[in-house]
Every structure is written in structure tokens, then in C-alpha cells.
């Protein structure tokens, strides 16, 4: 059976990442550091045999994917199924603000209750169903090939759990750095993990890691 190799990447840094604000579906583009991260990512992947580039339709993911696509001679196809979890009324808030205004809801979020949804947002169960369906759809188009998928922290968390068969409520022990390279294999039976959170390309260059 031919497999699809997936390079799964979280978008570069945004001003809201830097300020620890919840983004969700709010469309925030990359900041200066995020654009540098995307450029470093593109250089790291320029010799990879990438046959298709996909991204969430939010600009921070599209911009990150475009940096790679420009170097590997591809265009970027967008898919709303790769969007970050929708956090509804939580979006734009910091954790301090959330804990003050929504203490019970914030606690439910911290406990990773699968059926909890922020007011106007999505539950983890809804996110999981959406993300897995989108990745299945895209990966099935490319048997025997390698594709890039640029998405978001919540999406990457779902993919890690799917590939390692971990429950939605299992404590997270893996990192989700901006523009880290994560390698997965896909077959119709599901995902498997090859490598996770490679940030070696971000150790190069002179821009400070937290500059924005």
C-alpha cells in the first residue's frame, strides 16, 4: 500500500502569539519574526520532494505555506478544515482575562473536557472530527507523494494524538513550536508518527527568537 508523507507545520509567529492572546478563527497575519520563521522554514524544505502545498485559509497559515511554495515551485491550496479551533468569545483574550471573566469555562478548557465548547466556539470533539476529515481528504489525493500542510497549534495537537493513538484528554507532553517540521505518514487506516518538532532551521540566522 502506498503511503502519503505529510510535512505538518504550525504557522509562523503572530503579534497575538507574542502577546499570548487566543486567536482561533480570528485572522491575524504573521509578525516580523513569523515572516523570518517562514523564510527559514522555506530554506529548510527547498530540496524536499513536495508535490502539493496546503494551508488553512487563515492568513498566518497561508503566508507561511506560500514562503515554502515559492521555493519548491508549487501553489498553495487552502482548506477551511485545517483552521484553528474556533474559540468564539474567547478570541482576542489572554489567559488572565479569561480566568477573570470566565472562570468555570476556563477550568473546563484546562481540563480538556472533550465536549466543552467556549461560548460560540467548537469542542475538542468537533475539532477532531473536522481536522481528521480534512487531512484524510487531502492526503488521499497524493498516494506515494509528499505534501506540506500548514495549520495551527490545535490542529497539530489533534494530528499528534491521532498518529500516536492518544486520548483527547491525555496531558500534552509534546511541543508545538511555530514553523517546526513534523513528519507523518498517512494511509486509509490512519496516521503514524515519523518525527516531531524539528526546529533545527530556527537555530540559524541572527534574529532573536522572541523579536517581533
So which residues are the catalytic ones?
Answer: 11, 84
Q: What is the four-CA torsion angle of 31, 32, 36, 39, rounded to 10 degrees?
A: 70
Max CA distance (Å), the chain? 52
- Among 77, 76, 79, 78, residue whose Cα is nearest residue 67: 76
Where do runs of H (alpha helix) occur along the chain?
15-18, 32-45, 59-72, 95-101, 103-110, 124-139, 153-164
Amino acid at each position: 500500500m502506498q503511503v502519503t508523507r505529510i510535512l505538518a507545520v504550525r504557522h509562523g509567529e503572530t503579534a497575538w502569539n507574542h502577546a499570548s492572546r487566543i486567536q482561533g478563527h480570528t485572522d491575524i497575519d504573521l509578525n516580523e519574526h513569523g515572516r523570518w520563521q517562514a523564510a527559514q522554514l522555506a530554506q529548510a524544505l527547498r530540496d524536499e520532494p513536495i508535490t502539493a502545498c496546503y494551508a488553512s485559509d487563515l492568513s498566518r497559515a497561508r503566508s507561511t505555506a506560500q514562503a515554502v511554495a515559492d521555493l519548491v515551485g508549487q501553489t498553495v491550496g487552502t482548506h477551511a478544515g485545517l483552521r484553528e479551533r474556533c474559540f468564539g468569545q474567547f478570541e482576542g483574550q489572554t489567559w488572565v482575562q479569561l480566568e477573570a471573566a470566565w472562570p468555570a469555562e476556563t477550568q473546563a478548557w484546562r481540563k480538556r473536557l472533550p465536549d466543552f465548547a467556549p461560548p460560540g466556539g467548537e469542542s475538542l470533539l468537533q475539532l477532531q472530527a473536522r481536522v481528521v476529515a480534512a487531512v484524510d481528504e487531502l492526503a488521499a489525493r497524493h498516494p506515494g507523494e509528499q505534501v506540506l500542510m500548514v495549520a495551527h497549534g490545535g490542529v497539530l495537537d489533534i494530528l499528534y494524538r491521532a498518529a500516536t493513538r492518544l486520548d483527547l484528554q491525555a496531558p500534552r507532553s509534546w511541543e508545538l513550536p511555530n514553523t517546526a517540521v513534523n513528519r507523518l505518514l498517512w494511509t486509509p487506516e490512519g496516521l503514524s508518527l515519523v518525527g516531531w518538532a524539528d526546529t533545527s532551521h530556527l537555530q540559524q540566522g541572527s534574529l532573536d527568537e522572541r523579536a517581533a
